[in-house]
Amino acid sequence: MAAIAVVDYDMGNLHSACKALEKLGATPKITDSPADLDRADAIVLPGVGAFDPAMQHLRSRHLEAPITAAIAQGKPFLGICLGLQILFERSEEGQEPGLGIIPGCVRRFRSEPGLTIPHMGWNQLQLTQPHHPLWQQLSSDPFVYFVHSYYVDPADPTIRAATTTHGSQTVTAAIAWDNLSAVQFHPEKSSTNGLQILANFVSQVRALAAV
């Protein structure tokens, strides 16, 4: 059994992610309880919306410390979209400090002729950590679904697990570092490839829970 806490901080629809995890045999629980995060085998931090309200809502629920502690303890963690961005120190979108778990900044796409912002729709990943467990059984350049106007810029480029291009800009699409993984795209909206990515995460959770 893979008990996964899906963090509820009023930033987007969490039910699509939960339905996908349930379909894969996991036991997700939408929660804003620090005790639930502590008891869970793994944590998923989804999110849609703006950086500052996300951080304000996390702080109002006293979830900063439990999330940071769970990652530090080695618990499998998956951030999705805004749930990736708030792991960083700051964002050009707002003034609030992020969680600061990953050194670096969240940046806005540069304007250029013909470029649409937000970056929305299907795009290919270039896997920069091709052997990472999250990418098992995927093709070398899988298509996934994006909706974002900002992208993460990690201080340490080696934690990039995948990149994508929008216009002339190559940006980070996923990071992976020890037990922490996070993606800019929406796996729950990415059809077969997205389900495979979530299945790979659930497999990782089960393997660690069985130890």
Q: Which residues are catalytic?
A: 81, 186, 188
What is the C-alpha to C-alpha distance for residues 208 and 145, in angstroms, rounded to an integer?
Answer: 29
Tokens of 45: 């931090």
Spatial contact of 167 and 115, defined as CB atoms under 8 Å apart:
yes
Contact 194, 137 (CB under 8 A): no
Cis status, amide bond into 46, omega within 30 of 0: no
Cβ–Cβ < 8 Å for 77, 45: yes
CB 209 within 8 A of CB 2: yes
Query: Would you say 47 and 9 are in contact if contact means Cβ atoms under 8 Å apart?
Result: yes
